[in-house]
Every structure is written in structure tokens, then in C-alpha cells.
Structure 1
Amino acid sequence: MSRIITAGLDGSRESLAAADWAARESLLRDLPCRLVHAWEQQPYKYPTAYAPPAGQELQRHWAERVPREAEEDLRRRYPSLRVSADQVDGQPVPVLLAAADDSELLVIGSRGLSGIGGFLVGSVALSVVARAAHPVVLVRAEDPAASGLRPAEPPFGEVVLGLDLRRPSDALIEFAFDAAASRTSALRVVHGWSTPAYYGMDTGFGYTSGAAMSDLGGELAAQKAIELAEALRPWREKFPGVEVTETSVTGGAAHHLVEAASGAGLLVIGRRSRGSAIGTYLGPVAHAVMHHAASPVAVVPHD
């Protein structure tokens, strides 16, 4: 793995937003930025007499122009950025997975859905996120009505981390703390939990009182808050300059994460590095967050 930030390009607004995000992240980390455009030549399926002789050359010219123009645009807007651009022959998923293997971070675009409270994560993005060995960031296209570009320097929005205390990952927690530290931003850690079913069971006297349920719920909430604080303690010590807010909430984690990410600079979630009987695996929380969070979403693979 090289210390480089890579953005996948396909010429869309979303991929250009991803390239811009990658450029700003490269400046934050003082790392070079690489733009990669996967291109596979599409043969004509019409009689030769009707196919323009320069058709394939025009396709290749377009494929080479996409990364070149994106590189020129980033150089103009970020003069200190170390940026390169490559047009790579091959299908998008294998090309992007290879790029992810060679990068500290891969950034790709995600498309908004008009009239629906969510975003479209296409098959390429889903395949890459589910299989990449290193973190992948999904970026939405910038709102054309928004004034100005997002800054390459502070202040940034806070970083939000979704943490599962059943299997907390050092790689995931460190990524979130490091992201907050590099941005001089606050870090909000959200842990969602549900009351076990047995908390509503009969006490042996034919009922469970509301007061008893309230006490049990309060005790469990206090316990979860202690567990969350303990999991974060060594990271607070390692990153003393990061302001941390701990939030332990009941109910589905995805809803709370999407809500917390509204206006955030980055939402960080984990993905277990495992497969399933039908192929690569992304859990329901990751799916929901990737489709509905308005902020950029970093998916960090871990054991």
C-alpha cells in the first residue's frame, strides 16, 4: 500500500465531487492525490459500413480527457496539491479494487435520488465498498445551488463515528479519531443498542411493572454509557486534542447515525472483512447509512 489518496472517475458530477473531496483530504494529510478512470473499449455492433472509422478513437479520446480535465481543474483550484491522473483499461470494479489496494484511501461518488430521501449507491460502488481491503469514502455530488466550494482548510463539520460495542475495532476507532484530529474537528461517537427481550418478561408475579422496567432500562443505559467510555478511553489519551461527545442511544443504529450525520463533515462506519454464502457482505446498518446519510461516508473494513 502506498501513502496516497485515490479518487475513481467516470465523468459524472458525483465522481468530480469525489475527486474534489480526495484533493482536500490529500492536502489535509499532506499526501499525493491520484485520479483513476477505468475504461473498457466497447466494440461497435453495427455493420462496418455504418460505423464511423474514428469511433473507437473518439471513445479513447473521451476516456483520456476525463481524468486529464479533472486533474487540470484540481491543479487550478489547489495549487499546492500533488496530483496525477491515469486512464486504466479494464472494468471499473477490478480497476478500483486494485487502486484501493495501492492506496491509503479510495474515494468514489454516489448519486442522489430526486424526490426520495436517499441516495443511489450503484453496483460498482457497492461491490468496491464490500470488497476493498482499505477504507472507501462515498461522496455525494455538491448541490449546484450551494454557494462556493467546501473549504480545504478548517473549519470543517464534525466527524461522526458509528461504534458497535459488541466488537469494537481499533482500526475503525483510530480512523475516526485521526480524521477528527486532522480536521481540528469535534468527534461524535454514536452507539445504538436495544433492550433485550427478556427485560419485558414476567417477573414471576404475573406482570412486570412500569417502574421496574424504567429502572432496568436506566441501569442498562448507564451500563452502556460506561462501556462506551471505557472503549474510547485509550483513544482519548492518544488524541488529547480531539473533543469527543459520546452518545449511547436506544433503537436502530442506522436512524441515529443518519440523523447525527446531518451537517457533519464525515460519517465513519465499519465493515467486517468477511464473506457470506452469496458473496461479499454488507450489513443492514451499512446499507442504510450509505443510502441515506447526506454527509460523505467512510467505510472502514476490519476483522
Structure 2
Amino acid sequence: MFRTVVAGLDGSSESRSATEWAAREARLRGLPSTIVHVWEPIPPPMAQAPLLGAETQQHWTERMPREAADAIRLRHPDMELTIEQRTGDATEALLDAAKDAELIVLGSRGLSGIGGFMVGSVGLSVAARSERPVVLVRAGEQATDEHEPDADGLPSTQTPFRPVVLGLDANSPDGTLIEFAFEEAARRGTRLRVLHGWNLPPYYVYGLTVDIELQDKVVRQQAALLADALKPWRQKFPDVEVSEEVPAGSPGARLVDVSREASLVVVGRRIRRRPFGAHIGPVTHAVLHHAVAPVAVVPHH
């Protein structure tokens, strides 16, 4: 059984935001949290440099994780929190740590504060290969960012959570992905927005005027597909308010747009055991690189 929420820490501002997010998620789940710090050995010639020797290694492997843990304990004094030190390749070490976790939380580098973020190579590799859910958190993420503004329009943790957003392909819905999103919404006591994007076939579009009747027909068909996919989950989670949306156009662009009003965006990734390449679909890839809210990538078959 997976009984911890793991956060990867490398000392960056985005990884510190990830440890804070992981702590809040662990509290929602009633679980302990584990901070995993990976020390990647420095090549011997570089290790001789004054700023890269034993003193630097001691700071990165001891002081920095301890300070991060102390900061979390100040905000969550009743939380069970542990530090785990690993040595070696960061991606492989984090993937190994994720095997015993309910989910693993990593940081993503911010892009100039104008909305959207960029996933680093380690985060992208872990998200593409992990068989446990991976959450990517941008630098500067605060608890108040997950909540609706108060009556004065100011951020506050005393207001309800913003909705959880799920990007779903209703043509091939996966129960693991849907259940994860419903559970996240239930934990937060908030609404679940489910988006299923679609496009008209090219031969209906290129060189032709818009056929409103055809478009309305397709919308109804897609809405019916989505309703059928969610029906058993609505019954399983009757207390979760659900809104179903079937916008035309790029699903990735739409998810990025609505991420500005979300506490969490949930997308899927099919597990493919191929020897090469990062196996993340185009929608998930777009959301990972540009969404404003934290993004959960849920692997499924």
C-alpha cells in the first residue's frame, strides 16, 4: 500500500514550492510526507574546486533539506515528515522513491511570471516514466493560489478551493484518471470541471463555410459521450458537483486557459514501456509547459 506523499527537493525555489504543496496534499489525505533529496556526485576534477568540494556537498545534502523540513514543520507542526537522502542520477532516484508513494511532487521552473511554466528535464522524465501520479508545481506557488478570492478580491485560505479541472478524452475514458480527479475534488470540497475537447473532421472544415447544424450535432454527440463516461463516477461521488464541458478546438489550449481558475489540473498519460523517448501525449505536454495551476499527470493503461 502507498502510504506517503513524496516531494523532490533540489534547493530551487520551485522545488521548495513542491515540498510545501506536498505537505498540504499529505494533510488532505491524512498521510505523512517525505522529502527526497538526491545528490548527484560531482566529477572528480570539478569536485576539487573550492566552491564544489566537501563543504558544498555538506550544505546540499544536510543543511538545505533540514531547513526545508523545518519550514514545513513550522506550518504543519502535527505532520509526520521525514527526509530521505539519495545519491546518483536524480531521475532514477526519484522514480525509485515514487514506487512507494501515493504520488510524487516536483517543481517546475517559472517563465517570467506571465502565466505558464516550463518543465525541467528531470521533471519531464519522471512524469513520462513514473507509474505513480506526478504533480508538477511552479515556482512561487502559494496555498492561497488554490482558493477563491475573498469578498474584497484578496487571496485567502479561508475561502473555498478553486475547482479541480480534468482533461478527459471521452472517446477512451480511463477509470484511474477519472477517479483520481473525483477524489481530489472531494478532498477539497470543490467542484470538478471536466473538459473533453474535439475537432470537426478536416473534410468538413477546409474550404467550406461553417455548418452550424452539423456543429450542433457533433456537440450533442460529444456531450453524450462525456455524460456516459462520467455517469458511474457521479454515482460513486454524489457529493462532488460536476460540470461537463465539450469545447471545440485544441484541448491543450483550453486546459491551459482554464488553469488560471483551477486549484489543480489533472491530465492522463498512457503507460508505454518503450526503451526510448518521453512518452507524453501532446495535450499533456502542452498543459505541463503552460498551465498556471499545479498539474497532476496520472499514468494509466
Root-mean-square deviation over aligned CA pairs: 2.7
- Cα distance, 1:72 vs structure 2: 0.9
- Cα distance, 1:277 vs structure 2: 7.3
Q: Using a 3 Å threshold, how does the CA distance of structure 1 residues 197 and 76 change in structure 2: closer, same or farther?
A: same
Aligned counterpart in structure 1 of residue 106 of structure 2, from 105, 108, 116: 108
Q: How does 1:17-56 map to 2 (within 5 A)?
A: 17-45=17-45, 55-56=53-54
For the pair 1:123 / 2:121, whether they are aligned, the reply is: yes
Distance 1:72 1:113 in 2: 28
**SS of the counterpart of 1:280?**
coil
Distance 2:46 2:272 in 1: 44
- Cα distance, 1:246 vs structure 2: 0.4
- Cα distance, 1:66 vs structure 2: 1.8
Tell me the residue number matched to 2:218: 220
Tell me the residue number matched to 1:230: 228
Amino acid at match of 2:200: T
**SS of the counterpart of 2:267?**
strand
Tell me the residue number matched to 2:174: 169
Distance 2:41 2:167 in 1: 41
**SS of the counterpart of 2:21?**
helix
For the pair 1:8 / 2:13, whether they are aligned, the reply is: no
Amino acid at match of 2:239: G
Amino acid at match of 1:246: E
**SS of the counterpart of 1:249?**
coil
Distance 2:180 2:272 in 1: 20
Q: Using a 3 Å threshold, how does the CA distance of structure 1 residues 97 and 71 change in structure 2: closer, same or farther?
A: same
Q: Using a 3 Å threshold, how does the CA distance of structure 1 residues 153 and 16 change in structure 2: closer, same or farther?
A: farther
Gaps of 5+ in 1: 202-206
Higher-Rg member (1/2): 1
Task: State the TM-score, normalizing by the size of structure 2.
Answer: 0.89
CA contact (8 A) 1:274 1:280 kept: no
Distance 1:47 1:271 in 2: 39
Distance 2:212 2:51 in 1: 77
- Cα distance, 1:260 vs structure 2: 1.2
Gaps of 5+ in 2: 148-154
- Cα distance, 1:64 vs structure 2: 1.5
Tell me the residue number matched to 1:158: 163
Q: How does 1:185-204 map to 2 (within 5 A)?
A: 185-200=190-205
**SS of the counterpart of 1:109?**
strand
Distance 2:90 2:228 in 1: 42
Amino acid at match of 2:191: A
Worse-superposed segment, 68-77 or 169-178: 68-77
- Cα distance, 1:87 vs structure 2: 1.6
- Cα distance, 1:243 vs structure 2: 0.5
Tell me the residue number matched to 1:142: 140
**SS of the counterpart of 1:192?**
coil
- Cα distance, 1:41 vs structure 2: 2.5
- Cα distance, 1:278 vs structure 2: 4.0
Worse-superposed segment, 179-188 or 52-61: 52-61
Amino acid at match of 2:268: G
Can you list the C-alpha shifts for 1:25-52, whole angstroms capped at 9, x where unaligned? 000000010000000221441697xx55
CA contact (8 A) 1:161 1:187 kept: yes
Q: Using a 3 Å threshold, how does the CA distance of structure 1 residues 10 and 4 change in structure 2: closer, same or farther?
A: same
Task: State the TM-score, normalizing by the size of structure 1.
Answer: 0.89
Distance 1:54 1:292 in 2: 34
CA contact (8 A) 1:41 1:60 kept: no
**SS of the counterpart of 2:82?**
strand
Amino acid at match of 1:281: H
Distance 1:154 1:225 in 2: 31
- Cα distance, 1:197 vs structure 2: 2.7
- Cα distance, 1:57 vs structure 2: 4.5
Distance 2:46 2:32 in 1: 43
Amino acid at match of 1:7: A
Q: Using a 3 Å threshold, how does the CA distance of structure 1 residues 7 and 279 change in structure 2: closer, same or farther?
A: same
Q: Using a 3 Å threshold, how does the CA distance of structure 1 residues 228 and 11 change in structure 2: closer, same or farther?
A: same
Sequence identity of aligned pairs in percent?
Answer: 51
CA contact (8 A) 1:199 1:216 kept: no
Q: Using a 3 Å threshold, how does the CA distance of structure 1 residues 208 and 142 change in structure 2: closer, same or farther?
A: closer
CA contact (8 A) 1:154 1:183 kept: no
- Cα distance, 1:155 vs structure 2: 2.2
